[in-house]
Each structure stands twice: as C-alpha cells, then as structure tokens.
Amino acid sequence: MQPSRDIARLIEIMAALRTPETGCPWDLEQDFSTIAPYTVEEAYEVADAIERNDMGDLPEELGDLLLQVVFHARMGEEAGAFDFGDVVEAITSKMIRRHPHVFGNTADLSPEDVKASWGRIKAQEKAERAARRAQAGLPPDSEGRTLDGIPVPLPALTRALKLQEKAGKVGFDWQDARQVLAKIREETEEVDEALAAGGTDAIRDEVGDLLFAVVNLARHAGVDPEAALRGTNQKFTRRFAFIEDSLSAQARHPAQASLDEMEALWVEAKRRERDAPAPQPPQIGSTS
C-alpha cells in the first residue's frame, strides 16, 4: 500500500489496521475510550507546532490528529453507528447552517451580528437535538442548566474560561478587569491565611480559587489563559536552558550553583531576549 494525498487512502489504511486476523494487534484492541486520550494529546501537539511557528512540523501533527478522527470513524462503522462520511456530512451541514451570511441569503453582517446569529443557531440546534432524543426515547443530554455541556476532561484553565463565559452570558460576571484584579488580591490573602493554618485541603481550595480568578482576569483582558500559560512555560524552559548552558560552559551543573548565581543568569537571559530582534513570521512554503 502506497501513501497518497487522497483521504480515501487513509481510510483504507485504518480499515486494514482494524481487520481481524491480518490487522495490527494494538489497533484491534482499542476502543473509543482508550483512543480518546491520544486524540486530546494530538490536538495539543498541533497547538505546540503552531506555537513554535513550525510549518514543517505542522502538516505531520495535523495528519496525526486527522488519523484520530479516522480511527474513531472506523470504530463507529464497525459498530454500525456511523462512518467517516457521516462525520464529514455532519460538519459540512453544521458549517453551512451556521454561516447563512456566506451560504444563505443573509449578507453584510458585522462581526457582532455574526456572533449573535451563531448563538441563535446553536440554541436552535440544541432544541432540535433535544427533540430528536426525546422522540427516540433517549434521556436528555442534561437538565438545561447554564453550565451544562462543558466537557469535564477539558484542561482546567480552558474549562474555567468556558464556565465563566457561560455564566457571564446570563449576567453573572464582573463589570471590568479592575474588579477582577481586586478579587485576585482578596484570594491571595486567603491563600496566605491557608498557608499559615497549614491545612493541605484548605490550601488546595484557596489556590484553586486564585487560579479561577486569574482566568477571569485573563478573560476580561481579552487573553486566552491557556495560551498565556503555554507561552510562560516556553519562556521558563528557554531561560532555564540558558542557565544550564551557561553553567555547562563552566563544567558545572545547576545543583552546584547558588540561587544568586542562577538568578543572575536568569536576568541575563531576560536581557538577551529583550535586546534580540523580533522573530519574522514564516514565509509561505517555508519549512523552517
């Protein structure tokens, strides 16, 4: 079997991997629940390639993510529930339905109008889905509470953001970022009190409240908290690598250096980053 640019070949490959007796033993023993963590992991690897501006790596990571979709679709087909064609039809139908300003008679909408229209269409879809489930004798997805429907397995920062956004849509929200900043100061005082008391459970709860408030601040400031923390993680990794490389040039390990020495190297890493020229965006067709 040869590689191809045609999605049909990928579907054929997955079918071969899942064919009893002749397929791959590992692929054959998987199910939706065992594959789900890999699906999430591959999505993060796509995000990482984008964060690194690695246009050479990105196609491969997108391919890995696409494989996850094909894997789930194949298992759905084996169960007689759905196939890859159903997946494609579902998303194409949704995109056409949710963009009447592109594929319908509605035109000349502002970004705010588009967002409002999107919300109305999603609400209509939710009502139609509930009606279909009721007609099929299936239990409802939820009891219709405001915060229902936000997946629990989402990264905690992302889920906190979505919870806050939904609560904000019904008026449960701060008015501006300064109010959230005051809340953060209040939460840090409560963390301080918990540290003084020494109770692990209380410290965990108060730190959680603080993180939740910081997510709220990011939201009000128009910042994606997940992306912000990813950026800080990368910055920390980069600067600590500078510390290690600098000490290695002296045939030393960080454990052999004092905190003051490492702090001085950290400041130097920050200075070099500040003085370095801004990176240029990748050119179309670039593999760097």
Asked whether residue 250 falls in the same domain as residue 182, the answer is no
Q: Is residue 151 part of a domain?
A: no
Asked whether residue 31 falls in the same domain as residue 126, the answer is yes
Asked whether residue 34 falls in the same domain as residue 114, the answer is yes
Asked whether residue 22 falls in the same domain as residue 87, the answer is yes
Contact 210, 187 (CB under 8 A): yes
Q: Please tell me the predicted confidence (pLDDT) of residue 280.
A: 63
For the cut 60, the answer to whether the pLDDT of residue 286 exceeds it is no
Q: Please tell me the predicted confidence (pLDDT) of residue 154.
A: 84
DSSP states along 107-175: -S--HHHHHHHHHHHHHHHHHHHHHHHHHTTPPPS----TTTT--TTS-HHHHHHHHHHHHHHTT-S-S
Task: Indicate which CATH number applies to the domain containing 74.
Answer: 1.10.287.1080
Distance CA(256)–CA(76), nearest Å, equals 56
The segment with the largest mean pLDDT, out of 116-120, 138-142, 222-226, is: 222-226
Domain range for residue 230?
A: 225-275
The token duo for 213 is 């408030």
Helix%, strand%, coil% for the chain, nearest 5: 70, 0, 30
The whole-model pTM stands at 0.66
Asked whether residue 38 falls in the same domain as residue 119, the answer is yes
Convert the pLDDT of each residue in 65-97 to its tens digit: 999 999 999 999 999 999 999 999 999 999 998
For the cut 80, the answer to whether the pLDDT of residue 142 exceeds it is no
Asked whether residue 214 falls in the same domain as residue 244, the answer is no
Question: Alpha carbon of 256 to those of 166, 245, 247, 260: distances in Å?
Answer: 50, 13, 9, 12
Asked whether residue 111 falls in the same domain as residue 163, the answer is no
For the cut 90, the answer to whether the pLDDT of residue 151 exceeds it is no
Asked whether residue 200 falls in the same domain as residue 234, the answer is no
Asked whether residue 162 falls in the same domain as residue 191, the answer is yes
Distance CA(125)–CA(95), nearest Å, equals 12
For the cut 50, the answer to whether the pLDDT of residue 137 exceeds it is yes
Q: Is residue 149 part of a domain?
A: no
Asked whether residue 131 falls in the same domain as residue 176, the answer is no
Convert the pLDDT of each residue in 189-238 to its tens digit: 999 999 999 999 999 999 999 999 999 999 999 999 988 998 899 999 99
Q: Give the Cβ contact number of residue 10 at 10 Å.
A: 18
Q: Is residue 148 part of a domain?
A: no
Distance CA(164)–CA(217), nearest Å, equals 11
Asked whether residue 60 falls in the same domain as residue 125, the answer is yes
CA angle 76-77-78, nearest 5°? 90
For the cut 70, the answer to whether the pLDDT of residue 284 exceeds it is no
Report how many domains make up the chain.
3
